[in-house]
Structure 1
Amino acid sequence: MAEIRIRNTNERIKGNDNVKAFLEKQGVLFEHWDTDKLPEELREKFVLSDEEKNQILATYDAEIRDLAERRGYRTWDIITLSEATPNLDELLKKFESVHTHTEDEVRAITAGNGIFIIKGSDDVGYFDVELEAGDVISVPENNPHFFTLMDNRQVVAVRLFIETEGWIAHPFQDPAFQK
């Protein structure tokens, strides 16, 4: 179950309904997919073959296609990050700077967890969205944010895109942001 931490106040928001309501006010889509659908052997596996990635995509095909139809996404894939990922620290440095995109950044977590740090409205400021398996989030285009891993440093997620080349990050300098 996702949890939010507002950075300015350290306030925490818990419970799917509360998280969804808060994110909706910030223009961020939040949904939850049934993790029981995923075969048990894939629920905590972070190094995946192409066949296993395709199995995850097939398991959530109806959910992916529904989201794609509603939001205009045209392509999707699986990303896996763990200690087994070559150059993980270098890759995370690329992710861990505030940026924007010209399309939504979508993640449906199927295993592990991660954190989106998102710039909210002026009265909220930056907030963290801690995600776990089943959580689906779509950060709107041009909204400053970044994604990183939690302490266990492992995640598997479905990514959805409008552009078939995937998204390109545009650096966003913000003196108000503090790590």
Structure 2
Amino acid sequence: MAVIRVRNNGEIIEGQENVHAFLEEQGVFFERWDTAKLPEHLVEKFDLSDTDKAEILKVYDQDIRSLAKRRGYVNWDVIALSDQTPNIEELLKKFEQVHTHTDDEVRIITAGHGIFIVKGDGETGYFNIELEAGDVISVPEHTPHFFTLMDDRQVVAVRLFIDTDGWVAHPYEEKEHQI
């Protein structure tokens, strides 16, 4: 279950209802999916073949299509990141730069953990959304954010796109250092 850490005041928000309410206030879509349907051999596997990725998409096909229909997504894929990922440090440096997109950035975490750092409203400022398997999140278009890994440095996520070319990151320059 996701946990929120508000950076400017240290507040920690836990529990599905509280997390959902906070994220809804900030315009961030959040829901939970059943992870029990994922086959055991994929639960803690972070070095995925194309066959593994296709199996994950098949397992969650009905859920993905429902979300896509509700929110206008037209394309999806699976990404796996871990210390086994070639050039992981370079990828993380690219992900860890604050940026925006012209469409939503969506992740369905199917294994492992990840963190979205999102710029909220003026009073809230930046907050961390610590995600785990089963968490579904959509950071709205034009919202400054970045993604990184937690200490275990392992995540598998389904990504959904509105634009068939995927996301284009637009660098975001903070007027004041607030991260």
Tell me what 2:97 maps to. 97
> What is the CA deviation profile of residues 5-42 of structure 1, one whole-angstrom value per residue up to 9, with x for unaligned ones?
00000100001111000000000000100000100110
Give the total of aligned pairs.
Answer: 179
| Rounded Cα–Cα distance in structure 1 between residues aligned with 2:122 and 2:90 | 32
2:66 corresponds in structure 1 to 66
> Quick one: distance in 2 between partners of 1:69 and 1:177?
38
Deviations along 1:76-97, whole A, 9 cap, x unmatched? 0000000011110011000001
TM-score, structure 2 length as denominator?
0.98
The answer to whether residue 6 in structure 2 is matched with residue 6 in structure 1 is yes
Note if 1:82 corresponds to 2:65.
no
Partner secondary structure for residue 148 of structure 2: strand
Aligned to 1:107: 107
Q: SS of the counterpart of 1:129? A: strand
CA contact (8 A) 2:4 2:19 kept: yes
Give secondary structure in 1 for the equivalent of 2:124.
Answer: coil
Deviation >2 Å, runs of 4+: 175-179
Aligned to 1:149: 149
Q: How does 1:1-179 map to 2 (within 5 A)?
A: 1-179=1-179
Query: Which 5+ residue runs of structure 2 have no aligned equivalent?
Result: none
DSSP 3-state at the match of 1:36? coil
Please give the TM-score of this superposition, normalised by the length of structure 1.
Answer: 0.98
SS at match of 1:164: coil
Consecutive unaligned residues of structure 1, counting only runs of 5 or more, are: none
Q: Is the 8 A contact 1:111 1:133 kept in 2?
A: yes
Instruction: Give the superposition deviation at 1:177.
Output: 4.2
Q: Which amino acid aligns with 1:75?
A: N
Equivalent residue letter for 1:87: N
Q: Secondary structure at the match of 2:27?
A: coil
Report deviation, 1:178.
4.2
Kindly provide the amino acid, as one letter, of the partner of residue 56 in structure 1. Answer: I
Q: Distance in 2 between matches of 1:97 and 1:40?
A: 34
Instruction: Tell me: CA distance 1:113–1:177, structure 2 relative to 1, closer, same or farther (3 Å).
Output: farther
State the alpha-carbon separation in 2 of the partners of residues 75 and 152 from structure 1: 29
Identity %: 68
Secondary structure at the aligned position of 2:36 is classed as helix
Q: Distance in 1 between matches of 2:176 and 2:33?
A: 34
